Structure 1
Amino acid sequence: MSKIRIRLVAGLLSALAAGSAHAASEKLYLFNWTDYMDPEIISAFEKKYDVEVVQNYYGSLGEMFAKLQAGGTSQYDVVVPSNYFIPRMIEAGLLQPLDKSKLSNLGNVMAKFANPDYDPDAKYTVPYQWGTTGLVYNTETFPDAPKSWSLLFDEQKNQGQPFSMLNDGQVMFGAACAFQGKDYACTGKDNWVDAAKLMLATKHRTNFSGFTDSTAVLQQVSRGIVQLGVTYNGDYMQYKLDDPEGYKNVKFVIPDEGSEIWVDAMAIPAKAPHPDLAYKFIDFILDAQVGAQLTNYTYYSTPNEAAVPNLDEALKQPPAQPSPEDMARLKFTPSLSGQQLQMFQQMWNEVQSR
């Protein structure tokens, strides 16, 4: 049985067990991405604190943001946003500052995530998992593939093979900027106009199959539906380790022109109904053993220094851990607001619709 199937079964058993257990004294409401939490961690937390964890899920950051704006700040205790949405959430008053005296395991956070650009001094967030974005392709189709975005954007390098692009506009604009010799984290009208023109030209090629998400493209590459796409390293690791034979000719690389490093972080909504319980949950995740268990489940990278010795060996090396050379080329996707955000959204809509 694959780990994906095991996770579904484990989640069902956990739910059944919770339903048959005695009534918990409190409830914690967790708002997270789908399949981004080991059910055994939830069960251990419930047992330790005699609580019930109620999980709700979102499929996109836009959906998460909209639900919090529509009253979710008083419905959820812990939310897990990505780095480039965090400044937007802070500006909108959706998050409360952290009382770090309630987080005894905070010292386990790696130094490089302790004072991030998206949340100076980590005033509102604690890192949960992190990862990278890159190219995934069929090594039989591209045996001598360049470690470059040119495989996607250069028609000669692509050789007319079917390909897709990620359905995240900011990531694709960043990739286009990097290919054009600019910084992955480029912003501004002129840079975005150039990036949009490149993506439109790429999109209108007859071998373009569409915009897709990171897991769908992995399945498509393994089945030969497309030969190339954009995905996240953790999703790649999950499929590769769960089905080595099916993904033996599928490879993930971080382009030399630069790409994205991202962080998903834990935060407490502004009007969380159970903030004290939220602190207990965040601190529980920061535990060295629990942090390793989480990463061994998700296949992404841990920001928990104390957890590293307990990781599976495959998660201590590339692509789970980028090489120093690749790490130096990674940038956070910039957070946008106001007129800049409106301009970007208009351009991304045009790329998708034209």
Structure 2
Amino acid sequence: MKLLSCLAVGALALGLGAPQIARAETPTLNLFIWSDYIDPALITKFEKQCNCKVVETDYESNAEMEAKLRAGGDAQYDVVVPSSYYVPELEDEGLIQPLDHGKLTNFSNLAARFQNPTYDPGDKYSIPYQWGTTGILYDPAKIKGNPDGWGLLFDPKENPNYPFVIPKGEGRDQIGAACAYLGYGFNCAEKSQWIAAAKLIEQTKKRPNFAGFVDETPTRDQEKSGLVAAGMAYNGDVGQCVADGSCTKLKFYLPKEGSEIWVDTMAIPAKAPHPELGLEFINFILDANNGADLSNFNQYASPNAASQKQLTGIMASDLINPSDAEMKNLVFLAPLRGAKYKLFNQIWTSVLQ
């Protein structure tokens, strides 16, 4: 893959070095990303640096992202941000392309623990973007006591009256949480365990105070507005509203039975219209200053070792940085491939019906 530098891209946009074209159209980076996940100022900075335009399209779950790619988005978007356990599946389906590491001059800024991961050996298809944890956000004015497990979602005795939600998403966190509650561990991998977890969620759906399937960021917003009292949430989403003071009355915890530590990554779709600009963007995010600005905006932990000294505010808090004891109960979700992936999807689809 040939990569044009930002200067070269800008020159083409102005028609420089290409006499046969009086003026080329301004190059456009089509970014497909989770909502509220990048500072608009960073987008503006990239546009100025590369003399290009960025068109951002948002999604709320990996399942939504994958469906768009399968429906032709792999030829529409230049950069997508899948969670780590989704990378092997996107690779197997031919929806993302290998990366030219010779063009990623800032790759060495990544902390060693985030390089050469098991889900993508050699970082062949993806580059870490941010990382975080999945837990429970609740309103202590409505939920009494000190909940500390997944029972707040699955045990009617812990919340018999107030509305609560479970994410719709792609099912990995939801089945994982139910498995953990049942004693199988968050990273359960057997058909019988998945079925038991699915049955628990189906029972939970029948409770009168179950308010439906709502993904994590919308859950946070519904809790802020008082519509629901509990639900699954990402620590960075909570960090955002803690930082702006809009959810100081809510509480977040990592369930004692175990939960997820995850990495969101940057990848280039297989038929991206501007893959060279996609590589420029990935390298831009890997810059130390830009990596720090990213985390200081979205309140998620940075995998960028060169950015750490520039992180501010709650980035040093326990919310963003789990304790050693909490880390022992956190797992990376193992990728599912082939027949096992299809089986899991069948089970989860039956839950949503």
Normalising by the residue count of structure 1, what TM-score does the alignment of the two structures yield?
0.86
Tell me the residue number matched to 1:201. 203
Q: 1:316, 1:74 → 2: CA distance?
A: 39
Distance 1:281 1:190, change over 3 A: same
Per the alignment, residue 242 of structure 1 pairs with: 244
1:290-309 → structure 2 map (5 Å cutoff)? 290-309=290-309
1:215 maps to 217
For 1:251 and 1:129, the matched residues in 2 are separated by: 22
Verify the 8 A CA contact 1:24 1:52 in the aligned structure 2: no
Q: CA deviation at 1:24?
A: 6.7
Q: In structure 1, give the amino acid aligned to 2:31.
A: L
CA contact (8 A) 1:308 1:316 kept: no
Distance 1:140 1:263, change over 3 A: same
The 3 A distance-change label for structure 1 pair 206 and 286 is same
CA deviation after TM superposition for structure 1 residue 313, in Å: 2.5
Shift of 1:56: 3.0
Match of 1:86, SS?
Answer: helix
SS of residue in 2 equivalent to 1:136: strand
- Judged with a 3 Å threshold, the aligned counterparts in structure 2 of structure 1 residues 220 and 27 are, in CA distance, closer, same or farther, namely closer
User: Are the equivalent residues in 2 in contact too, given 1:127–1:303 (CA < 8 A)?
Assistant: yes
Which residue is 1:10 aligned to? none
Secondary structure of 2:36's counterpart equals coil
Among 222, 230, 233, the alignment partner of 1:231 is: 233
Tell whether 2:169 aligns with 1:150: no
Structure 1 residue 92 displacement after superposition: 1.2
Residue in 2 that maps onto 1:57: 58
Change (3 A) 1:31 1:227: closer
Q: Which range is displaced more, 53-62 or 126-135?
A: 53-62
Partner of 1:326, secondary structure, is helix
Cα distance change on mapping 1:221 and 1:34 into 2, 3 Å: closer
* TM-score normalised by L of structure 2: 0.86
Q: Is the 8 A contact 2:79 2:266 kept in 1?
A: yes
The residue matched to 2:136 in structure 1 has which SS?
strand
The verdict on how the C-alpha distance between 1:325 and 1:68 changes in structure 2, with shifts beyond 3 A counting, is same
Offset of 1:25 from its aligned partner?
A: 4.7
Equivalent position of 2:10 in the other structure: none
Q: C-alpha distance in 1, partners of 2:25/2:310? A: 31
| In structure 1, C-alpha distance between the alignment counterparts of 2:227 and 2:69, rounded to whole Å | 37
- Larger mean CA deviation between 167-176 and 44-53 belongs to 44-53
Which moves more between the two structures, 27-36 or 170-179?
A: 27-36
Structure 2 letter corresponding to 1:295? S
The corresponding residue for 2:83 is: 82
Q: 1:254: how far off?
A: 0.6
Match of 1:111 in 2: 112
- Counterpart position of 1:8: none
Between the aligned partners of 1:78 and 1:216, the Cα distance in structure 2 is 23
339-348 or 168-177: which moved more? 339-348
What is the Cα deviation at residue 296 of structure 1? 1.3
**What is the one-letter code of the residue matched to 2:117?**
P
- Closer/same/farther in 2, CA of residues 37 and 219 from structure 1, 3 Å limit: closer
Deviations 1:7-54 (A, max 9, x none): xxxxxxxxxxxxxxx987533222222332212112211222222223
Q: Which residue of 2 aligns with 1:13?
A: none
The aligned amino acid for 1:207 is N
Structure 1 match to 2:350 = 350
TM superposition shift of 1:143: 4.6
- 2:248 maps to amino acid: K
Query: Does 2:44 align with 1:47?
Result: no
Q: Which amino acid aligns with 1:158?
A: N
CA distance in 2, matches of 1:40, 1:119: 30
Q: Select between 86-95 and 65-74 the one with higher mean Cα deviation.
A: 65-74
Please tell me whether the aligned partners of residues 149 and 257 of structure 1 are also in contact (alpha carbons under 8 angstroms). yes
Distance 1:93 1:241, change over 3 A: same
**Equivalence for 1:266:** 266
The residue type equivalent to 2:286 in the other structure is: L
Secondary structure at the aligned position of 2:157 is classed as helix
Give the 4+ runs in structure 1 shifted more than 4 A.
Answer: 22-25
Q: Give, as a single letter, the amino acid of the residue that structure 2 aligns with 1:230.
A: M
Instruction: Please list every run of 5 or more consecutive structure 2 residues that lacks an aligned counterpart in the other structure.
Output: 1-22
Map of 1:319 onto structure 2: 319
CA distance in 1, matches of 2:147, 2:49: 50
Does the CA-based 8 Å contact 2:60-2:217 persist in structure 1? no
SS of alignment partner, residue 187 of structure 2:
coil
- Distance (whole Å) between structure 1 residues aligned to residue 157 and residue 95 of structure 2: 47
Cα displacement string for residues 55-81 of structure 1 (whole angstroms, at most 9, x for unaligned residues): 333343233223323433333322211
Match of 1:171 among 162, 170, 173: 173
Q: Which has the higher helix share?
A: 1
Matched-pair contact (CA < 8 Å) for 1:128–1:264: yes
Where 1:249 maps in the other structure, the secondary structure is coil
SS of the equivalent of 2:251 reads strand
Aligned-residue CA RMSD (Å)? 2.1
Question: In the aligned structure 2, how far is the partner of 1:205 from the partner of 1:279?
Answer: 48
Q: Any unmatched runs of 5+ in structure 1?
A: 1-21
Cα distance in 1, alignment partners of residues 162 and 59 from structure 2: 33
> Aligned to 1:272, what secondary structure does the other structure show?
coil
Question: Structure 1 residues 25 and 182, CA, compared in 2 at 3 Å: closer, same or farther?
Answer: same
